[in-house]
Chains A and B, each alone.
Chain A
Amino acid sequence: MSQMGRRDFLKLGALAGIATLPLSMVRIAFGKPEDDFTFAYISDSHIQHIKGNQFVRNWDMGLKRAVAETNLLVPKPDFVVFGGDLAQMGTKEELDHGAELLSALKYKTYHVMGEHDYYLDLGKYWEKLFGPQWYSFDHKGVHFVVLNSILTTDEWTFKRWPTAEQRMAEMAGLDNPNGSPFMVGEAQRKWLKEDLAKVAKTTPIVVFSHSPIQKIFKNWNFWTDDAEQVQALLKPFQKVSVVYGHVHQIQYNQIGNISFNSVMATAWPWPYPQSYVLADSHLPVLTVPMNRADPFFERDATGWQYINTRTGRLALNYELPNNTKRQVAFNAKTGKPQDMAYQDKKNRILPQDHY
């Protein structure tokens, strides 16, 4: 499956007589069919409360569209992951409204904590709605780990701000110099070590986190401060993938045995870090950027994705309103994720040039 381009996909779909559905998925059973499955990933909806029962319409529409389209997937995904930042300012109103919109999903949904969900009450209300802040589960031979990667120092969290509202507001500004670098933290790393001790080294591991467990651009927290320490815990395993939100753009990378893939936001796109010329950034060289956004199309450069999992490796299918869909899949020959259409420099298109 990971070696197939979208055109082949569609061809197969046509052969199977299901090409009429725009969101058809085709399960390619090269190996044991029980090893292959798909799940959907929706992230960064930033539901924003105005007052009373009013919420920002634009962000509501992004989440509603992703939920509606995910419900149309054929064949059905085994589950859905929501990748964090359901809310904008972490309030009960926003989390409740977001949970209500997500309740239309017809599948089991796993949740990842984002900083916009966390820094008002340190995740208390979120826990009530969605459960523990970090956990693991097994599905069809894959060990899934969900981390809360947006924690930071105790001093910043508990001592620096006079009110919880101010703490939330300071962390909510992506480019706010008063923010603080994200981290998984010692307690959770200890838990992760113990959790992974029970897992065979040949078992594929898939980690879901909100921030990238790698260091790309500190100013906007495209960054996890203890990334190397978390990567070290994942190193002994043969197949490891990390899927993260937060960045509102397509990114992918390979560090040693670990593949990294980002997911899109349903709310709005972010510039690539190199667009900010006054600070250094390190976008992975593997990444072919998403198209530059046309702000006149409200949903442009936003989206959601379904992810094919075959023998523990991932192929991300980006559903992009107003844009050509993208597929980024692990290539077993090169040992890296690659864009199935644009990886080769000569195939890239002008809108992928960010400056």
Chain B
Amino acid sequence: MKKILGILAFVVLAAPPAFADEFTKADMDRWQKEFDAAAKLGRKLWVNDGPVKLGTNGVACAQCHPNGANTHPETYPKFQKQLGKVAQMWEMVNWCIRNPLEGKNLAADSNEMTALLAYANSERKGVKLAPGKH
């Protein structure tokens, strides 16, 4: 019996795991490409050149936020005095879509919202996280 267990253990260790956390350079390149594609779509939406229009009046995010500046993704979630609660960045993005852009809320997990957040974060690359900072 002992012998059999020993053989089994050997088999389990030697077999290449098909799942779990093993990944290759090719995987990483693909995942980065996926992110970059989301950020690229985000940039298109940001300058009002995307497949859908976020607003109704032609105003683009980039008019007030060139290169995503002054959106401070590194500070979220944070207390937003105007909302009276700790808010996430997508809530503020929707505020901008409803008000200056005169459009309708995006779902928090929509492709478009993900793309906008991917873009804003990519323009803020390297900045230390500062959750809660005003």
Binding site for B on A (CB under 8 A): 46, 48-50, 54, 56-58, 173-176, 219-220, 268-271, 275-279, 292-296, 298, 355
Contacts of A276 in B (CB 8 A): 66-67, 69, 123
8 contacts between A and B (CB under 8 A): A48-B59, A219-B67, A220-B66, A268-B100, A278-B123, A295-B64, A295-B96, A295-B100
Are B57 and A50 touching (Cβ within 8 A)? yes
**Stretch in B18-26, B27-35, B104-112, B124-132 with 4+ CB within 8 Å of A:** B124-132
Q: Does B62 contact A (CB under 8 A)?
A: yes
Number of interface residues of B (CB under 8 A): 24
Are B62 and A275 touching (Cβ within 8 A)? no
Q: How far is the CA of A27 from the CA of B13 in the complex (A)?
A: 89
Interface centre among B56, B64, B123, by most A CB within 10 Å?
B64
Q: How far is the CA of A37 from the CA of B82 in the complex (A)?
A: 42
B67-84 contacts to A (CB < 8 Å): 67, 69-70, 72, 82
What's the nearest-Cβ distance from chain B to residue A316, in Å? 23
Contacts of A54 in B (CB 8 A): 57
Contacts of A49 in B (CB 8 A): 58
Q: How far is the CA of A237 from the CA of B100 in the complex (A)?
A: 45
- Which of A175, A277, A293 is within 8 Å of B66, CB to CB? A175
Known: A56-B59, A58-B100, A277-B127. A269 touches B67 (CB 8 A): no
What's the nearest-Cβ distance from chain A to residue B66, in Å? 4
Contacts of B64 in A (CB 8 A): 268-270, 295
Q: How far is the CA of A276 from the CA of B62 in the complex (A)?
A: 13
Are A294 and B126 touching (Cβ within 8 A)? no
Q: How far is the CA of A291 from the CA of B72 in the complex (A)?
A: 16
What's the nearest-Cβ distance from chain A to residue B56, in Å? 8
Q: How far is the CA of A45 from the CA of B79 in the complex (A)?
A: 32
Contacts of A271 in B (CB 8 A): 65-66, 69-70
Q: How far is the CA of A269 from the CA of B58 in the complex (A)?
A: 18
The 5 residue pairs across chains A and B that have the minimum distance between CB atoms: A175-B66, A271-B70, A271-B69, A296-B82, A275-B69
Q: How far is the CA of A268 from the CA of B62 in the complex (A)?
A: 11
Q: Helix, strand, loop or mixed for chain A's interface? A: loop
Q: How far is the CA of A294 from the CA of B83 in the complex (A)?
A: 12
Q: How far is the CA of A296 from the CA of B95 in the complex (A)?
A: 9
Q: Helix, strand, loop or mixed for chain B's interface? A: loop
Are B62 and A175 touching (Cβ within 8 A)? yes
Q: How far is the CA of A279 from the CA of B126 in the complex (A)?
A: 12
Contacts of B70 in A (CB 8 A): 271, 275, 292-293
Q: How far is the CA of A298 from the CA of B101 in the complex (A)?
A: 12
Are B62 and A278 touching (Cβ within 8 A)? no
What's the nearest-Cβ distance from chain B to residue A55, in Å? 9
B86-134 contacts to A (CB < 8 Å): 95-96, 99-100, 123-127
Known: A271-B69, A295-B96. A278 touches B125 (CB 8 A): yes
Contacts of B56 in A (CB 8 A): 50
Q: How far is the CA of A49 from the CA of B82 in the complex (A)?
A: 30
Further pairs besides A58-B100, A295-B99: 20, Cβ < 8 Å = A46-B63, A48-B58, A48-B59, A49-B58, A50-B56, A56-B59, A57-B57, A173-B62, A174-B63, A175-B66, A175-B67, A176-B47, A269-B64, A270-B66, A271-B65, A277-B126, A295-B64, A296-B82, A298-B99, A355-B72
Q: How far is the CA of A142 from the CA of B86 in the complex (A)?
A: 54
Are B66 and A174 touching (Cβ within 8 A)? yes
Closest to B82 in A: A296
Q: How far is the CA of A295 from the CA of B69 in the complex (A)?
A: 14
Q: How far is the CA of A298 from the CA of B62 in the complex (A)?
A: 17
Q: How far is the CA of A296 from the CA of B67 in the complex (A)?
A: 21
What's the nearest-Cβ distance from chain A to residue B133, in Å? 9
Contacts of B63 in A (CB 8 A): 46, 174, 268
Are B57 and A56 touching (Cβ within 8 A)? yes
Q: How far is the CA of A271 from the CA of B120 in the complex (A)?
A: 14
Known: A278-B123, A295-B95. A50 touches B100 (CB 8 A): no
Q: How far is the CA of A270 from the CA of B126 in the complex (A)?
A: 22
Q: How far is the CA of A271 from the CA of B123 in the complex (A)?
A: 14
Q: How far is the CA of A296 from the CA of B84 in the complex (A)?
A: 13
Known: A58-B100, A173-B47, A174-B62. A278 touches B57 (CB 8 A): no
What's the nearest-Cβ distance from chain B to residue A178, in Å? 11
